[in-house]
Amino acid sequence: MIRVQLADITTLEVDAIVNAANSSLLGGGGVDGAIHRAAGPELLQACRELGGCPTGEARITDGFRLPARFVIHAVGPVWRGGNDREAALLAGAYRSALELAHDNQCRSIAFPAISCGVYGYPLEQAADVAVETIIEFDPPRRNIDDVRIAAFSDNVAEAFQAAVDRHL
């Protein structure tokens, strides 16, 4: 049900890729910058029209020059020690992305490790929240057959695979 893959998310041929976006949706560093560069300037214009997105939610745009049909921009929380609703907000970002995928008839979706870069969310904790949220959503029941975690490094792949192994 959940597959962990060491991959550049911008190259995946899935219905939707998820962007670990900031609340402005206007691009940034890490995976956000990579997705904006690969999708082309049309993505930035589409994001401007959305007017931002609150933490814990997601918005959808076309994929433009990406192999994916859609980009789902999910805004995860900045880690502040774990007592500032971070887990609930991170779960909300994953759940909102999955809901948008379902609403747009996506059968495949690839996630990055949301909030694990400059936002500082501890990798193992983030992986547990992500995997638990995906399992609770029950993608196969909603016709999402392929859920991937696109890991950008070995340590991310290992942390997410360990979370999948713990929860499935």
Q: Would you call 32 a catalytic residue per the annotation? A: yes
**Which residue out of 8, 15, 32, 165 is catalytically annotated?**
32
Residue 97 and residue 18 in contact, taking contact as beta carbons nearer than 8 Å: yes
Q: Which helix (H) or strand (E) holds 74?
A: strand 70-75
Contacts of 127 (CB under 8 A, 6+ apart): 113, 159, 160, 162, 163
Residue 139 and residue 98 in contact, taking contact as beta carbons nearer than 8 Å: yes
How many residues are recorded in the chain?
Answer: 168
**Which residue numbers are catalytic?**
32
